[in-house]
Structure formats: structure tokens, C-alpha cells
Structure 1
Amino acid sequence: MRDDPENAQGVDLTLPRVPETRTETINLIPSHGFKGWLAKHRVSLAFNTYHIGKVFMMGLDDLGHFSFSDASFHRSMGLSLHDGTLWMASLKQVWRFENFLRKGQTSQGNDAIFAPVGATTTGMINLHDVRASEHGVYFISCNFNCIGRLHEKWSFEPLWKPPFISEFAHGDRCHLNCLALEHGRPKYVTCFSNTDTLLGWRSLPKDAGSGLLIDVTTDEVICERLHMPHSPQIHNGQLYVANSGAGEFGQIDRDSGEYTPICFIPGFTRGVSFWKNYAFVGASKPRENGVFEGNDSTPLNQRLKDEGLKPECSISVVNLNTGEIEHRIAIEGLASEIYDVCVLPGVRRPMIADLESEAMNKMFRPSRTHI
């Protein structure tokens, strides 16, 4: 991978709505050639970070320069694009964004403008991944150890819990976190352990490799001894996963359950999206304290120490044919964690708005004119 940035200073984004006691700059530094890669494949990116409540969109303007847009949503988590609609989990709601531009239409250089047009309030159920399909909008509730689906009347519709969870009750017992769909329905989930007591997963040694990948349709544990796994995804029939506590992105044989690392990234890997034979993999810096704190308690932190590497917050573009990281976006400054990544195919320069955005004061799209 070529690490030399196209712009040595990167791109600084000023975020005025964060507390004054913290730095207000995020520096995005793409690797050399990434502009050309985006232009060639005509894709753009959405990604988010929940600890400062931001969603970003990254593309190219008409001159081929990087273009960035950001919006504020408290505890922005899972992202999912289905049939042109973008879904996002947040602190107490699942948001729906619609592209207000028609195909071929542009506005101030943007060829897609995602506006928040609806939200379903779930309450603080610790939303993580959200996955949308023609069968519904599914998500993970950590606090109820289950897969849920949006309900037209109630907070949510519980659909499935791991077989080792003895009851449907409030309280994170195994840290069920991420979800993969197949044929539009839940297929695989990841969790940190098979514990059935409140916060039982936190008491386990972080180097124990107690993480699981479970087949929802059979209740079978497909792969175990993973390290804090996240982001299971099926792409072209193959099953991929972020082995987060080891700083790896890897593949799982769906027949044998064998896990094979594809590449190492010096960060807590989480957030995976695909475009053709490429995977976009997010990585976060270990925290000073908390679930994946910066000490020697995880394989990732031990490897960083042994190899003298600095942890990074980044998005890596991985060639699935070779396992090589061809491009990387380093993220420095205020943002130190990535939760999810979402490829926006066919979009060159996207924009996203939040409720406080000035653009929302002048943005309207009636469904059809009857008057």
C-alpha cells in the first residue's frame, strides 16, 4: 500500500457544535491515488463515529478534489443503504434518509443529498447494527440481546435471541452487536461471549478469544474463539468478519467454520462495506479505558506493542483478490473511532443534512403535485 498522501496537510473539517474544551478539527488524509480510484469506480463513502455523534460523506467535486459533508446525530451507529434509502441507528431512534435529487439531477455540485425525513423512536435499547431489506429494517439491540425489527406502533419487534440467553429481558449479557442478512433476512450475528448474566462478557479476559459468530437460522455457533468480533457480512456468497480485538479483517468458511485472516490493520477493526472485489474496513484507536482499552489485554494491543506500531483511526480499501490494502483514509484529530462504513454506488459527490442544518430550511420534495 502506498501511504504517501496526495495532500500532505490532508483535509481539515471544522466542527463548531462540539464542546469548546475539545479540539474542533478532524483531519482526513487519503492515500496517494485514492482520488483516481473513486473517480474510476464512481463511488463515494458514508461513515460515522458515535463518540462525537457525526456522520460523514466523502466524494469528489467537479474538479476532482475531495468533497466532504457532515451531519450531527447523537450516538450515530449502524448504517445501511437499501434501494436508495439510507438507514442509521442512533441513541434512541432509527433514522431514514432519502435522496432529494432525482437521477441525473445536481444541486450546487452535489449529485445526491440525503435528508432525514423520518425516525422511529425505539428508546435507549443500545442500538448497534441496522440492516434494511425488502422484508423490513432489522437491527441489533445490545440491551435486549436480540435482533429487532422496526414496528409501526411499538418501540420494536423482537425476533431472535441467542439460545444461551435464558430470557428476553433488559440488560446486556453477551454483547450481541452486529448482523448480516442473506436474501434480505437475518442470517449471522456476532457477540463477545455466551454469557447469560448481566454484563457477564465484561468479566472475561480480553485475550481469551470468547467471541462467537452464530447462524440465526439454525442457532448454531459457526465460529468461536474470535476476539471481540464485529461486522459479519456476506459478499458474493462469502462470509467476512472483523476480528476486532486482533486488528484483523478475515473470512469464515461457511461449511467448516474456520476463520482465516485476510489482513492486519493497526486498529480495532469495525464497520465493513463492499464494492465489487473490494472491502472498506473501518478501524478505531484503542480507548484509554473501557471495552478495548489501550493496554496489553487484547491481541491487538500486544501486537502494536511488539511491532512498535501506533494505533490508527482509518478506513482501509482491501483488495479481496490479493488481500492487499490498496488505499487508506487516515482520520486524525477529534475523531478516534469509526463505527460503520457504507459505500454509495453511482454517487460522485454526496451531501448529508441534519435537522439543524441551514439546508433543511430550504429543502422540500413533495411526492407529487395534485393542485
Structure 2
Amino acid sequence: MNQPKPFDCEYSPQFAELLGKLGISLAVSTYQAGKVIIVSPVDNDRLIQLPRTFSGAMGMAADEDRLAVATTHEVVLLRNEPGLAAGYPTKPGVYDSIYLPRASFYTGNLALHDMAFVNGKLLSVNTLFSSVSEINSESNFTSVWQPPFISDLQPEDRCHLNGMAVADGQIKYVTALGQGNQPHQWRDNKMSGGVLMEYPSGEIILDNLSMPHSPRVYDDELYLLNSAQGELIKVDLRQKSYEVIVSLGGFARGMVRWGDYLFIGVSKLRHNSPVFADLPIAKTSFAGVIAVYLPYKTVVGFMKYTMSVDEIYDVKIVPSLRPSIISADMDIHKAAYALGQQSFWKEPEKSQSQSQSQPSPKSYSTQVIKNVALSVIKKKFAALINNNLGSNGTYGNMDIMTALVVVLEQKPAAMALIRMKGEKSFTVPSFKVLPDHYGRGVEQYLVRQIDIIAGQNKINWDNRSDFFDEK
């Protein structure tokens, strides 16, 4: 059995098939892991993920070819440049869209929650200042609304304003975890003090909610997440009541619709907090995404993280089967030029310090050791084998494998083991890079060598989607 890898997940068989049928991918933000993760279908049975670094990623806004991401201290605006997708330098012909950073607004740490593009403006729920705010280049933010019970604009997170529903080009409803006007007063009754308000009047439609998030208007009906109860609820505005549509089994936050389906983010409960210990979802919570078929009010698929991700904030639709997203920390975005109808890639420039301190993947070579017993490989390359390989009895010492060893200056740096499954497919049960070679492109180099072997021999790599070679 392989060692767990970053962002390992499990998912229902229907989940990948559903994304493929709808022709979409998902963008998932996780502030705990500091990532935006693109989740795409490979085929009807498999998903592939593309995690990108956005520190403290929370609220996102998606509109046509734009994507905005709220991070710890700024909001990053990205735009899809489809003319650049097919020619992505290290993966030509793989992507059908690519989102590149176009602007950054330095907001400071506002704990920005829900965001949306509204009539040409980027609006966000500014939780620190208990305000709905416009994000622009004029200042850190411009406050456009506060609940009537908030007396002034102060960085005190008085009511934990968090959710915003937009319909017909305007904000309709907002959610908060309380109605306090003192610093962090929402914490006094956070498990049952939540409110749903009409915008802009601030009229309380529902109270006594359990940490509500993500109000959304779909087909003139209002839905929201009663988060701490793990519930998707539908609001009766006239009766000022609600019905539970489906129980989700985790702390629910982040919701988006595509056709008749809702995709809802769920998070693990913070089990060290006595506040959550007695909740119904305390024993079932997990981090992932749940698909709900709205006409039947039922869960029809899920993906569940087993590594790296504990909390999810937002989920958005990317209308593409294989999108890429480039974060500002990736040098390759400096090589992309989009000029309206024209677009170009050029070779990324490297600083002198980079070129001197880090070997290029071209400096590495690969040794292929064919058809060797696992016991022989273990003796020669013990440090390059996943520690638990064969520990559960899946592979025996006499299993025959092929070793691909990456070498730098006559010293092994990384190794992958290939084990055939019949004549037309293989798996990679072990893949390991020595710590001294992290961040130098060795992982991607080794994956490409495996791809070359698969292509030359016309065989399928069954567990390729487990390896994050998307740089």
C-alpha cells in the first residue's frame, strides 16, 4: 500500500461521472490548507486534482471568464485565457482553459467571506468590519452596507457577517452568526444565534439558526446552509420558516448550482472544541464536496479528503472539463502574454540565484532497471521506497517490478516502481523523492519519464491521477 499523498481523497463512483456529464470542474477553496483546488473528471470513474497556493483562501467569485480569490491579505483576480491553454509549456494539448493572475487588491486581513461580481463591481462580505464592501483599487475596501444593529465601522467582527445571496444583479439576503454590536459578541451564542437578513433593509427573516452560511437564490427560491447542523435548508419567506432539504453529515459551507445539481462544501468539526462535541454531525463530519440532486432532494455523490484538507470555505463551478489555474507564486505566469485576440508563451526567466542553487531537471538522468524482484530493489534502494510498501501483504518480495531511478551526479535522487497488470496496464506502487531534491522539478521529471515509457509501449498507467505533476 502506498504512503498517503497530499490531497488524497476518495469519492463515490457517480461523482466523476456527474462532473463529466455536466461538462464542468469544481474550484474548491480551503483556508486551512491555503489552496484553491481544481477538481476535474478524468473519465467516468476517476478525478484529477490541481492544487494551487492561495494563502488563507476563503471566498471566491466566478463570472464568465473571471475568478476572484480572497486570501489572507489580498484579493487575487484571475482571467481565463483559452488561447494559452493548449500550448501550456510543460503540458501541451492537455488543458482546455487556463486562469492567469491579472490583478491583486491589497485589502489587509479582513477575513473576507462570500464574494460576487455585481454590476461590474466586486463585492465581498467583510467579516472583520461587519460590512458588505466593494473591493477596488481606491482603498483597502469601500463599505457599502452594514446591518442596522451595527453602529459604526470598526475592525471588531461584532456579528460575524459571512454570507451573501445575489440575484438579478443585486444583493438580496445576508447571513450572520449573531446580532451583537460589541467586539466578537457573536461568540456568546454562536450555536443558535445565527440570523438571515433581507438586504438592504436588514429585516430579520430567520433567527436562532446554527452558524448559517452561503445563502443562495435558485429559481426564485432561497436556500442556505444551517452549517453547524449539517443541513441544507429552504426558506419560506412569507411564513419566516424553513424546511430541511437534506442532511449533509458535516459542517456545511460553500454552495453552487449547475443545472439541477448543488455542489456543497463540508468541513471537519474542530473536535478539540467542547462547543461541537454534542452536535449530531460530531461523529460523521469530514472535509469534501457533496453533490445534491435538487428535484429529488437527495445526495447523489461525494468526494472526501483523507489527507491535507480539513476545512473548506467555498465551491465554484469552472465550465471546463480540464482547466488549469496559475497562482502568482508560480514563475510560469510571467511567461504568458495575452493580448486580446493574440496570446504567446515565452521561456520563463530565471534569476541568477535560482540557476546557481537549483539544478535543472535537464541535469538529471534516469536509469531503468527492468524486471527485478522487489527484494532486490529494497536492498539496493531502501531509502527510495515508500516505507509501507508491502506492509499490508499487497506486494511480496518476489513481485517483479521495473525501477526508474533519477540520478544526479551519480547519486540517486528519486525512484518510481512500475508493476505490470496484464499486458496493457500498470500501476506505480512506490514513488519517492529524497528531501534534498524537493522543489526542483524532480517529481514532474519522473512522472514524465513514466509517461514516456507508457507511450512507447502503448500501455495505460492506471493510477496516474494520484500523482500531482501539474506545475
Distance 1:47 1:344 in 2: 10
Change (3 A) 1:367 1:247: same
Distance 1:171 1:270 in 2: 22
Distance 2:208 2:172 in 1: 20
Unaligned residue ranges in structure 1 (runs of 5+): 1-7, 15-24
Partner AA of 2:68 in structure 1? W
Give 1:105 shift.
Answer: 5.6
Distance 1:84 1:133 in 2: 15
* Structure 1 position 134 matched with structure 2 position 119: yes
**Structure 1 segment 74-153 matched on structure 2, within 5 A:** 74-102=55-83, 107=88, 108=92, 109-153=94-138
The aligned counterpart of 1:225 is 208
Give 1:104 shift.
Answer: 9.5
Partner AA of 1:303 in structure 2? P
Percent same amino acid at aligned positions? 28
SS in 2 for 1:286: coil
Q: Deviations over 1:86-124 (max 9, x none)?
A: 111111211111112149967531111111111111112
Give 1:285 shift.
Answer: 0.5
Give 1:354 shift.
Answer: 1.1
The answer (yes or no) to whether the contact 2:84–2:98 under 8 Å persists in 1 is no
Which of 319, 327, 351 is residue 354 of structure 1 equivalent to? 327
SS in 1 for 2:244: strand
SS in 2 for 1:39: helix
SS in 1 for 2:296: coil
The aligned counterpart of 1:22 is none
Deviates further, 315-324 or 252-261:
252-261
Distance 2:207 2:318 in 1: 32
* Structure 1 position 185 matched with structure 2 position 170: yes
Unaligned residue ranges in structure 2 (runs of 5+): 343-471
**Structure 1 segment 207-356 matched on structure 2, within 5 A:** 207=191, 209-289=192-272, 293=273, 295=274, 297-298=275-276, 301-304=278-281, 309-345=283-319, 347-356=320-329
Q: Deviations over 1:309-342 (max 9, x none)?
A: 4321121000111111000011121110110000
Q: Deviations over 1:165-219 (max 9, x none)?
A: 1112221101001111122222211101111110111122x44x11001111222
Distance 1:245 1:64 in 2: 32
Q: Deviations over 1:131-186 (max 9, x none)?
A: 11334110011111000012331111101000011112221101001111122222
SS in 2 for 1:26: coil
Partner AA of 1:356 in structure 2? D
The answer (yes or no) to whether the contact 1:283–1:338 under 8 Å persists in 2 is yes
The answer (yes or no) to whether the contact 1:70–1:353 under 8 Å persists in 2 is no
Distance 1:368 1:329 in 2: 38
Partner AA of 1:79 in structure 2? M
SS in 1 for 2:99: strand
Instruction: Give the aligned CA root-mean-square deviation in angstroms.
Output: 2.4
SS in 1 for 2:61: strand
Query: Quick check: which has more Rg, 1 or 2?
Result: 2
Distance 2:21 2:289 in 1: 19
Give 1:78 shift.
Answer: 0.6
SS in 2 for 1:194: coil
SS in 2 for 1:33: helix
The answer (yes or no) to whether the contact 2:16–2:44 under 8 Å persists in 1 is no
SS in 2 for 1:315: strand
The answer (yes or no) to whether the contact 1:247–1:269 under 8 Å persists in 2 is yes
TM-score relative to the length of structure 2? 0.68
Give 1:367 shift.
Answer: 3.1
The answer (yes or no) to whether the contact 2:81–2:338 under 8 Å persists in 1 is yes
TM-score relative to the length of structure 1? 0.85
Would you identify which runs of 4 or more consecutive aligned residues in structure 1 move more than 6 Å? Answer: none
Which has a greater percent of helix? Answer: 2
Partner AA of 1:349 in structure 2? R
The aligned counterpart of 2:160 is 175
Instruction: Count residues in correspondence.
Output: 339
